[in-house]
């Protein structure tokens, strides 16, 4: 069954699909693809932002290749939720922070410069909120893969974006780090404005940006969608697989590329060794999507957990 998004017409859908391919696309090119005027394209983007359907534009950065260790932390708490959320939100190591329902209350992605930084972070957090924690699980995030959002049309799309997972270590200088931090928050920032922000001349900035893209440190540019504003819930399925060799991993990723409602996959080291992110209109739709997945991979699934992710507090694509 086809589950269409709410609150947006065909033009808005085309804009979102097009920007999903390249969120830095010039307005003139976007307008040409969508067969509308440049002014109308600009108006539509601003309206999507005002409606909070578009949450912004961010840069995909391979933080692993820059030496960052990535962890996903699952928390079950009994009190002080507001204080815990505030503490994590303000922590510079926290890239992603969201409320969840089912077994866990909070899920967060931590990007630390090394394992010692993470251990220090975790010890300080656990000691501070010792009396509020019921349970916690920590998993190493080994790979992060995005899939193109083609749920507007239900068309098959074999594109995937490997944000990180196995590339060689890269060395960059402090100025490149400054560029990455600046553009991570606003993928559509004009290069002239970015040059001023990082105190570089325009040509030097262009050269550095091309290098960061060529070296696959900058992987791409995407839109952040607030799925609840277009009638979807967001679910995280944590999978424990009996075998997660390269062949099985590739099969799962090949399957995910063709399912319009799966938009992210993780490879994990922990109790769960794989995770998929599913957007679904309701519980019935979720069952349809996941049952199809289970039927395909039932020989490998030992166990799974389903989490409803319902309130995002923080998302940055590069540690501050």
pLDDT of residue 21: 83
pLDDT of residue 153: 66
DSSP letter at 258? H
- State the Rg of the chain over Cα: 20
pLDDT of residue 154: 61
Q: How far is residue 25 from each of residues 51, 52, 148, 285, measured CA to CA in Å?
A: 21, 20, 16, 33
Report the candidate in 164, 196, 203, 166 with the shortest Cα–Cα distance to residue 179: 196
| Residue appearing with tokens 């080994």 | 142
Q: Across the strands, what pairs with 315?
A: 96
Residue 203 to residue 48: CA distance in whole angstroms: 33
| Residue appearing with tokens 């939100």 | 89
Render each residue's pLDDT in the chain as its tens digit; 320 residues: 566 677 789 899 899 989 988 999 999 999 999 999 999 999 999 999 999 999 999 999 999 999 999 999 999 999 999 999 999 999 999 999 999 998 999 999 999 998 899 999 999 999 999 999 999 999 999 999 998 877 766 665 667 889 999 899 999 999 999 999 999 989 999 999 999 999 999 999 999 999 999 999 999 999 998 988 988 999 999 999 997 788 888 899 889 988 889 999 999 999 999 999 999 999 999 999 999 999 999 999 999 999 999 999 999 888 87
Report the candidate in 223, 218, 235, 216 with the shortest Cα–Cα distance to residue 280: 235
Residue 316 to residue 94: CA distance in whole angstroms: 8
Please give the span between the terminal C-alpha atoms of the chain, in angstroms, as a whole number: 42
Residue 75 to residue 124: CA distance in whole angstroms: 15
130 CB-contact burial (10 Å; exposed 0-12 / middle 13-18 / buried 19+) = exposed
* 9, 53 contact by CB (below 8 A): no
**Coil, strand, or helix at residue 292?**
helix
Sequence-distant (6+) residues with CB within 8 A of 269 are 139, 140, 142
- Report all structural domains of the chain as residue ranges with CATH numbers, in order of start: 10-55 (1.10.10.10), 171-214 (1.10.10.10)
């Amino acid at each position: 069954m086809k589950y269409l998004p709410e609150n947006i017409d065909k033009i808005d859908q085309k804009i979102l699909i097009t920007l999903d391919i390249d969120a830095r696309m010039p307005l003139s090119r976007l307008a040409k693809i969508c067969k509308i005027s440049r002014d109308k394209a600009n108006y539509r983007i601003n309206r999507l932002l005002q409606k909070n359907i578009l949450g912004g534009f961010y840069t995909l950065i391979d933080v692993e290749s820059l030496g960052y260790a990535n962890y996903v932390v699952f928390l079950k708490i009994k009190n002080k939720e507001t204080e815990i959320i505030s503490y994590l939100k303000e922590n510079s190591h926290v890239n992603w922070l969201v409320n969840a329902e089912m077994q866990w209350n909070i899920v967060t992605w931590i990007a630390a410069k090394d394992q010692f930084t993470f251990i220090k972070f975790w010890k300080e957090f656990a000691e501070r909120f010792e009396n509020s924690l019921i349970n916690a699980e920590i998993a190493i995030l080994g790979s992060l893969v995005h899939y193109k959002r083609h749920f507007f049309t239900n068309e098959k799309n074999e594109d995937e974006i490997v944000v990180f997972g196995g590339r060689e270590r890269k060395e960059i200088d402090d100025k490149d780090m400054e560029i990455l931090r600046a553009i991570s928050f606003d993928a559509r920032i004009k290069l002239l404005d970015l040059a001023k922000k990082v105190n570089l001349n325009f040509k030097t900035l262009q050269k550095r940006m091309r290098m960061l893209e060529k070296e696959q440190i900058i992987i791409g540019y995407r839109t952040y969608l607030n799925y609840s504003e277009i009638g979807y819930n967001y679910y995280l399925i944590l999978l424990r697989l009996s075998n997660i060799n390269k062949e099985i991993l590739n099969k799962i990723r090949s399957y995910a590329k063709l399912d319009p409602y799966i938009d992210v996959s993780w490879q994990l080291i922990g109790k769960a060794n794989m995770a998929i992110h599913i957007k679904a209109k309701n519980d019935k739709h979720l069952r349809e999507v996941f049952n199809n997945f289970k039927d395909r991979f039932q020989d490998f699934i030992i166990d799974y957990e389903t989490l409803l992710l319902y309130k995002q507090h923080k998302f940055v694509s590069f540690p501050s």
